[in-house]
């Protein structure tokens, strides 16, 4: 449930949060270069509780095609390996007694196309969230006008500002999407 938006500033905050979430989700998508973000949110069964890998290990990417996971508790190496395999990231982890090594394979053309599709889906989800915020804000402003709290001129100014702001954030999401698509298709 989205909280009622009290002002344009609050709407900006909601939209900034949506943009930040979109940016994080796109950063997690693999572009062919190893990154700790690729595996840090993998859920590991840690003594019966689902726990993000980043809470159980130090994760680094010392090379362009290698991720190294150093668990704080080495008895969890098997559970970490299993979680990475079950996450269906296309990785095949290999472990020794203290670390898990993940070789990041080059992206095939088919996988690149799938990644572009995922990027578009994530971007569209973010745009839907922005529009949902705009709809809730619009409803609140119209209710204020119906109650006589604001004039019709103020209503129209607020609605114009709201549309302008929403369009700016949609453009930012489109730009993020284009940059990520370019990263994936040019590697």
Of 103, 125, 153, the domain-final residue: 103
With bands split at pLDDT 50, 70 and 90, how would you rate the model's confidence at 4?
Answer: very low
Cβ of 54: how many Cβ atoms within 10 Å? Answer: 16
Domain extent, residue 46, equals: 36-103
**For the chain, how many structural domains are there in total?**
2
66, 122: one domain: no
Domain presence at residue 1: no
pLDDT (tens digit per residue) in 81-97: 999 998 877 788 999 98
62, 88: one domain: yes
| DSSP code for 33 | S
pLDDT of amino acid 91: 85
Backbone angles phi, psi at 52, to 5 degrees: -60, 140
145, 181: one domain: yes
pLDDT of amino acid 3: 36
pLDDT of amino acid 35: 83
| Residue found by looking up tokens 């745009």 in the block | 127
Pairing status of strand 100-103 against strand 94-95:
antiparallel
Span of 102-116, 133-147, 170-184 with lowest mean pLDDT: 102-116
Is the model more confident about 105 or about 174? 174
pLDDT (tens digit per residue) in 6-63: 678 888 899 999 999 998 888 777 666 788 888 888 999 998 899 999 999 999 999 8
> Minimal CA–CA distance to 25: which of 123, 107, 112, 102?
123
What CATH code is carried by the domain that includes residue 138?
1.10.132.20
Nearest 5 degrees, angle CA 62-CA 65-CA 66?
45
87, 129: one domain: no
Which runs of consecutive H residues, i.e. helices, occur in the chain? 8-28, 77-86, 109-146, 152-186
Domain presence at residue 2: no
Domain presence at residue 3: no
112, 170: one domain: yes
Is the model more confident about 64 or about 45? 45
Instruction: Give CA–CA dist 90/103, Å, rounded.
Output: 10
pLDDT of amino acid 76: 92
Of 103, 121, 138, the domain-final residue: 103
113, 71: one domain: no
Is the separation of the CB atoms in 158 and 11 below 8 Å? no
Of 58, 83, 103, the domain-final residue: 103
Instruction: Give CA–CA dist 72/57, Å, rounded.
Output: 5
Ramachandran category for residue 41: left, alpha or beta (phi over 0 → left; psi -120 to 50 → alpha): alpha
Task: Write out the two tokens for 36.
Answer: 């700790």
155, 113: one domain: yes
132, 171: one domain: yes
Average pLDDT over the chain reads 87
């Amino acid at each position: 449930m989205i909280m009622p938006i009290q002002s344009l500033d609050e709407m900006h905050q909601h939209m900034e949060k949506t943009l930040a979430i979109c940016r994080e989700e796109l950063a997690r998508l693999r572009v062919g270069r190893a990154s700790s973000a690729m595996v840090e949110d993998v859920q590991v069964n840690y003594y019966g509780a689902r726990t993000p890998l980043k809470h159980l290990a130090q994760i680094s990417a010392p090379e362009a095609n290698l991720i190294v996971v150093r668990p704080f508790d080495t008895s969890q190496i098997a559970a970490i390996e299993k979680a990475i395999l079950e996450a269906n990231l296309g990785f095949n982890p290999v472990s020794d007694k203290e670390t898990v090594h993940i070789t990041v394979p080059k992206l095939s053309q088919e996988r690149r196309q799938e990644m572009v599709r995922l990027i578009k889906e994530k971007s569209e989800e973010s745009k839907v969230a922005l529009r949902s915020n705009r709809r809730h804000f619009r409803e609140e402003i119209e209710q204020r006008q119906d109650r006589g709290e604001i004039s019709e001129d103020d209503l129209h100014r607020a609605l114009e500002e709201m549309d302008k702001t929403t369009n700016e954030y949609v453009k930012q999401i489109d730009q993020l999407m284009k940059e990520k698509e370019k990263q994936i298709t040019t590697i």
